[in-house]
Chain A
Amino acid sequence: MTISLKQLFVEFMKMGLSGFGGVLPFARHALVERTGWMSEKEFTESLAIGQAMPGPNIVNVSLMFGYRRRGLWGALAAVSGLLLPPMLALLVFYFFYRQFEHYPVVRGMLQGVLAVSAGLMLGSGLKMAKSLLRSGEKLLHAVILALAAYVGIVVLGMPLAILLAVLLPVTLLWAMRHEK
């Protein structure tokens, strides 16, 4: 099935504009269920790679998908559809917010959203930690690495670049000894 650049742009724009609180569920629905452009397996694999690589997960998925179908221009069409229209929407949203920001109600709403965002982040971190703890043998290594990353940021306030310069080599060396 050939997909035009315009179709790529429009489809990813729709995903971007409908995604509240993360685009991922909407992307899965659109790519796998609605258009059938991707199989469930292909989507899950792209996501796994997208998550392991640097860069926003969903941006990585759109890049890989666009690139597979239409090369470099396809990647560009998908990623700009995903990011640019929602960016304009966000700036418009922000413009309206500025008109009403002095109302305590608006500030209260933001505080509520912020509390939920913090909770969502901690919740998904804990969920990932749980599945990590189940994986067994490499347990001690995993706990040490996770703890080192956490302490480096929260307690020591280290710049991320310095923290990762130390942690990344250790992480990859440990992983290489386990993945034969």
Chain B
Amino acid sequence: MMTELPWWSAEYWLLQWQLFSYYLHISFLTFGGSITTLPDQYRFLVDSKHLLTATEFNSLFAISQASPGPNILYVALFGWKIAGAPAAFLCLLGICLPSSVFVLALERLARRDPGARWLRVIRTGLAPMTVGLILAAGTVLARPVWLHWWMIGLMGLAVSVTYLSKRNPMILIVIGALLGALMSVLA
């Protein structure tokens, strides 16, 4: 639901700020890729602030997956849907800015001593937590899947192909779109 607030109202910019500051804080929490924060974005945008419906959230994410570009861009699409062009840019900037500053600062430090112990601690130590977070994101994303047997089948196919091979995910996305179109015609 695109906001009906006029761009010159204080509420409009308050909404922009609310989105921007949410994504600023989430930026520090994106360990293992932005995808690990997807459940939290759902909690904030859908459950807590009612800025998007569950269906909107899921379809916007799916649209971004079907379009080229870094995965992170779904954030801009959420912003666009909620409050137009400024929000699209602010959400993307918000989720990238703090982590970028952090990474550049670390890059400077790491250049002095590439084998430093603290670097190894971070690199190996975070892995288990990241795995848990990614599986959690997959579970949250899978919620609408259980409605249709063909979606369950597709998901199963994607899980096994990813797990067993290094095949390009794009082929699976195309198969998913085609099968989805076919099932909607048959229904």
Give the interface of A toward B (CB within 8 A). 16-23, 25, 48-60, 63-64, 67-68, 72, 75, 79, 82-83, 86-87, 89-91, 93-94, 97, 104-105, 107-130, 132, 141-143, 145-150, 152-154, 157, 159-161, 164, 167-168, 171-172, 174-176, 178-180
Contact = CB atoms under 8 A, between A and B. Distances in A.
A95 B42 CA distance: 23
B152 to A, nearest CB: 8
Interface SS of A by simple majority: helix
Given A83-B96, A126-B162, 5 more contacts: A49-B123, A94-B77, A110-B59, A160-B37, A175-B122
B128 interface: yes
Range for the number of chain B residues in contact with chain A: 35 or more
Interface of B: 25-37, 39-40, 43, 58-59, 61-73, 76-77, 80, 88, 92, 95-96, 98-100, 102-104, 106-107, 110, 117, 119-142, 144-145, 148, 151-152, 154-163, 168-170, 172-173, 175-185, 187
B181 A149 contact: no
A105 B181 contact: yes
Nearest to A54: B99
Q: Which 8 A-B pairs have the closest CB atoms?
A: A112-B180, A119-B158, A175-B125, A123-B162, A108-B184, A55-B99, A86-B69, A149-B132
B135 to A, nearest CB: 4
Contacts of A154: 39, 136, 139-140
B139 A145 contact: no
Contacts of A104: 184-185, 187
Nearest to B179: A112
A118 B184 contact: no
Contacts of B142: 115, 118-119, 122
B70 A59 contact: yes
A160 B126 contact: no
A16 B136 CA distance: 27
A148 B139 CA distance: 15
B27 A114 contact: no
Given A59-B70, A109-B177, A120-B158, A125 B141 contact: no
